[in-house]
Chains A and B, each alone.
Chain A
Amino acid sequence: MDIKDIIKPENLVYKKSELLIDTIMHYCPGCSHGVVHKILSEVIDEMGIQEKTIGIAPVGCAVFAYNYIDIDWQEAAHGRAPAVATGVVRLNPDNIVFAYQGDGDLASIGTAEIIHACNRGENIVVIFINNGIYGMTGGQMAPTTLVGQVTSTTPAGRNVDLNGYPMKITELIAQLPGTSYVTRQSVQTAAAVRKCKRSIKKAFQNVIDKKGTSFVEVVSTCNAGWKMTPVGANKWMEENMFPFYPLGDMKDSDKKEVSNN
């Protein structure tokens, strides 16, 4: 059979989402951010919510997320995306609002904002990229950096006496009555990507159903920051991150326990 007989519309099993803008991404090859952007584009596209969706980009490597997904976006200050999202959704309850944040953004400088937005049960999706490091600023320690992990500010490895312990903020978020769905996913294999997409879709559906905050952590690689090859970074993540940050749903309730929308 000739290849031309195979490449026909009726045989199409996969295509790039129209929402993913045709441009060169600034992400390093092997970085998880690009994959999560692709999933987000597909979910927004498939759910038909482009006209209603407003994204809040963080300060961190995903600061340029607004260049890649064809929706309205706001760029927040470092750590403040949940407060920005609160302002948007409180005044525009019919819009679908998501905050996209890294682990420095969400679990360090923006701890107060994320805890309080989740505790109020803001009707938003939070996508939390946990790569255990500050990618954008060149690989410094994040609150999520593992014990012993080498970064540019922990050259001898994270020492708990000096730096404290890695923070499992998602476990903390799951305790808050304002959240309805809290899960931890990853995107290093095709199967993981499919699972993560199901979670992100569910999170958006929850917001449409006004169930309060839905929180999706994606345990991610930063091979450039970790100074590894993309494949080596995936392996390191599976061997070191997953035991400390176990994947799976932490909370999946029908409704949040507080109501404000």
Chain B
Amino acid sequence: MGELRLMKGNEVLAEAAIRCGCDGYFGYPITPQSEVMETLMARQPWEETGMVVLQAESEVAAINMIYGAAATGKKVMTSSSSPGISLMSEGISYIAGSELPCLIINVQRGGPGLGTIQPSQADYFQAVKGGGHGDYKLIVLAPSSVQEMNDFVDLAFELAFKYRNPAMILTDGAIGQMMEKVELADFKPRWTNDELIEKCGSWATTGKPAGRKPNIITSLEMDSAKMEANNKRFQEKYRKMEEEEPRYEALMCDDAEYVIVAFGTSSRVCQKAIELARAKGVKVGLLRPITLYPFPKKAIAELSCRIKGFLSVEMSAGQMIEDIKLSVFEGGCIVPVKFFGRLGGIIPSPGEVVKALEENFLKG
């Protein structure tokens, strides 16, 4: 059993980074995630593990520091909240286009614009459909508890290095600010130089020893045929992720007639909602996507052939619902896919969700 603590989600992100052997963090303050950098600065990991922490002059600079450091094969991460992630989007596109591993954390707040500092899930499209320019994908993990904030840091790095692709933890201000019991991971040492060369030496800019070709990190290719080939290679990688990496949790789906699909904070609300609905005799289950990209399409498609309908519950105007509809369509068993959401930083209540379920499926 690992060390047990009562901690805030944001603090856990910092602690998990230190413990999983992260080499560096670059960030810029923004509510509701400033505790990530504050915790790191207070912990002074450079004294303990050698991890570097630097407050950048902007999110633009922070993501480009990540780009530079990631290109040298180091395990690096940044965190921000919605407006800051928008600023990072150019850099994220470069990182994806240069096929570099890194971890980006978005502790979402409500938008658009400066919006609100309250929790939201309205950056779903930005996270899973690209966000920046060009055909690229991030690996997107959606924790629903402080424990998963801990667990997904290491998992995100593992996937990022496995695919040489940026990974994102898409969470929100509620989980970032919430305190829960968490079992912390054990310390893993940072990679030594030799380990780094062994794992990343074929591509990382570590300084060119005599006898090897220069390692060049770039997303530029002026020859369209080569650029198309690069894109095809990226797409193959994304198809492989879609085959191998979808993760989800299914609750009470076995006998369900209706299934709610929800992730992160809204999935916690829906867990209560399915209990309430079942107490009323409605057979409802919950499917919680853990990877938002790759989306658990097969699980949804399979369910669609034995249930009467889906309800997507989101803290947005309805974004993930498009992926649910696509999954149902591709599965071939067409059932209604309905939506309930709250906007602007409001978390739906379990009662509202049950009501939405009744209104959409059980009336008339």
> Which A residues fall within an 8 A CB radius of B?
50-54, 56-57, 63, 66, 70-77, 80, 83-88, 90-92, 95, 112-113, 116
In the assembled complex, the CB of A115 is this many whole angstroms from the nearest CB of chain B, namely: 8
Please indicate the chain B residues that have their CB under 8 angstroms from the CB of A95 in the complex: 72, 206-207
Are B65 and A70 in contact, CB atoms less than 8 angstroms apart?
Answer: no
Tell me, in angstroms, the Cα distance from A88 to B69 when the chains sit together. 5
Q: Is B340 an interface residue (CB 8 A)?
A: no
Are B68 and A88 in contact, CB atoms less than 8 angstroms apart?
Answer: yes
Tell me, in angstroms, the Cα distance from A95 to B23 when the chains sit together. 16
Name the residue of chain A whose CB is nearest to the CB of B50.
A91
In the assembled complex, the CB of A240 is this many whole angstroms from the nearest CB of chain B, namely: 33
Q: How many residue pairs at the A-B interface have CB separations less than 8 Å?
A: 125
Name the residue of chain B whose CB is nearest to the CB of A76.
B64
Q: Is B138 an interface residue (CB 8 A)?
A: no
Tell me, in angstroms, the Cα distance from A229 to B109 when the chains sit together. 56
Are A80 and B91 in contact, CB atoms less than 8 angstroms apart?
Answer: yes
In the assembled complex, the CB of B245 is this many whole angstroms from the nearest CB of chain A, namely: 27
18 contacts between A and B (CB under 8 A): A51-B208, A54-B72, A54-B207, A56-B68, A73-B215, A74-B67, A77-B94, A83-B62, A84-B64, A86-B56, A86-B65, A87-B66, A90-B54, A90-B65, A91-B52, A92-B72, A113-B61, A116-B57
Are A71 and B208 in contact, CB atoms less than 8 angstroms apart?
Answer: yes
Please indicate the chain A residues that have their CB under 8 angstroms from the CB of B58 in the complex: 112
Tell me, in angstroms, the Cα distance from A93 to B94 when the chains sit together. 24
Interface segment, B144-152, B173-181, B216-224, B318-326? B216-224
Q: Scoring B residues 189 to 212 as 1 if CB is less than 8 Å from chain A, else 0, what string do you get?
A: 000000000000000011111100
Name the residue of chain A whose CB is nearest to the CB of B222.
A64
Tell me, in angstroms, the Cα distance from A86 to B68 when the chains sit together. 7
Are A74 and B52 in contact, CB atoms less than 8 angstroms apart?
Answer: no
Are A80 and B205 in contact, CB atoms less than 8 angstroms apart?
Answer: no
Q: Is B295 an interface residue (CB 8 A)?
A: no
Please indicate the chain B residues that have their CB under 8 angstroms from the CB of A90 in the complex: 24, 52, 54, 65, 69
Please indicate the chain B residues that have their CB under 8 angstroms from the CB of A52 in the complex: 207
Q: Is B234 an interface residue (CB 8 A)?
A: no
- Count B interface residues, CB 8 Å: 39
Tell me, in angstroms, the Cα distance from A177 to B62 when the chains sit together. 22
Q: Is B170 an interface residue (CB 8 A)?
A: no
10 nearest interchain CB pairs? Answer: A87-B68, A87-B65, A75-B218, A84-B68, A83-B64, A87-B69, A72-B205, A116-B57, A80-B64, A83-B61
B 47-102 contacts with A by CB, 8 A: 52, 54, 56-58, 60-62, 64-72, 74, 76, 90-91, 94, 98
In the assembled complex, the CB of A179 is this many whole angstroms from the nearest CB of chain B, namely: 16
Are A72 and B68 in contact, CB atoms less than 8 angstroms apart?
Answer: no
Q: Tell whether A113 pairs with B57 under 8 Å between CB atoms, given A84-B68, A87-B68.
A: yes
Tell me, in angstroms, the Cα distance from A88 to B71 when the chains sit together. 8
Tell me, in angstroms, the Cα distance from A95 to B74 when the chains sit together. 14
Task: From A51, A71, A74, A91, give the contact of B218 (CB < 8 A).
Answer: A74
Are A74 and B68 in contact, CB atoms less than 8 angstroms apart?
Answer: yes
Tell me, in angstroms, the Cα distance from A50 to B215 when the chains sit together. 13
**Residue of B26, B56, B205 with most partner-chain A CB within 10 A:** B205
Please indicate the chain A residues that have their CB under 8 angstroms from the CB of B54 in the complex: 86, 90
Task: From B61, B71, B206, B220, give the contact of A116 (CB < 8 A).
Answer: B61
Please indicate the chain B residues that have their CB under 8 angstroms from the CB of A87 in the complex: 24, 26, 64-71, 76
Tell me, in angstroms, the Cα distance from A63 to B220 when the chains sit together. 9
Tell me, in angstroms, the Cα distance from A66 to B215 when the chains sit together. 9
In the assembled complex, the CB of B239 is this many whole angstroms from the nearest CB of chain A, namely: 27
Task: From B67, B74, B76, give the contact of A84 (CB < 8 A).
Answer: B67
Are A77 and B91 in contact, CB atoms less than 8 angstroms apart?
Answer: yes
Please indicate the chain B residues that have their CB under 8 angstroms from the CB of A57 in the complex: 218
Tell me, in angstroms, the Cα distance from A63 to B90 when the chains sit together. 17
Task: From A63, A71, A83, give the contact of B214 (CB < 8 A).
Answer: A71
Are A54 and B205 in contact, CB atoms less than 8 angstroms apart?
Answer: yes
Tell me, in angstroms, the Cα distance from A231 to B46 when the chains sit together. 54
Tell me, in angstroms, the Cα distance from A189 to B70 when the chains sit together. 40
**Residue of B64, B208, B210, B219 with most partner-chain A CB within 10 A:** B64
Please indicate the chain A residues that have their CB under 8 angstroms from the CB of B94 in the complex: 77
Tell me, in angstroms, the Cα distance from A63 to B56 when the chains sit together. 24
Q: Scoring B residues 213 to 248 as 1 if CB is less than 8 Å from chain A, else 0, what string do you get?
A: 011111110000000000000000000000000000
Tell me, in angstroms, the Cα distance from A90 to B52 when the chains sit together. 7
Task: From A50, A80, A83, give the contact of B208 (CB < 8 A).
Answer: A50
Tell me, in angstroms, the Cα distance from A112 to B62 when the chains sit together. 12
Please indicate the chain B residues that have their CB under 8 angstroms from the CB of A116 in the complex: 56-57, 61
Are A72 and B61 in contact, CB atoms less than 8 angstroms apart?
Answer: no
**Residue of B23, B52, B68, B207 with most partner-chain A CB within 10 A:** B68
Name the residue of chain B whose CB is nearest to the CB of A26.
B222
Q: Tell whether A91 pairs with B24 under 8 Å between CB atoms, given A66-B216, A77-B91, A113-B57.
A: yes
Are B74 and A91 in contact, CB atoms less than 8 angstroms apart?
Answer: yes
Please indicate the chain A residues that have their CB under 8 angstroms from the CB of B60 in the complex: 80, 83, 112-113
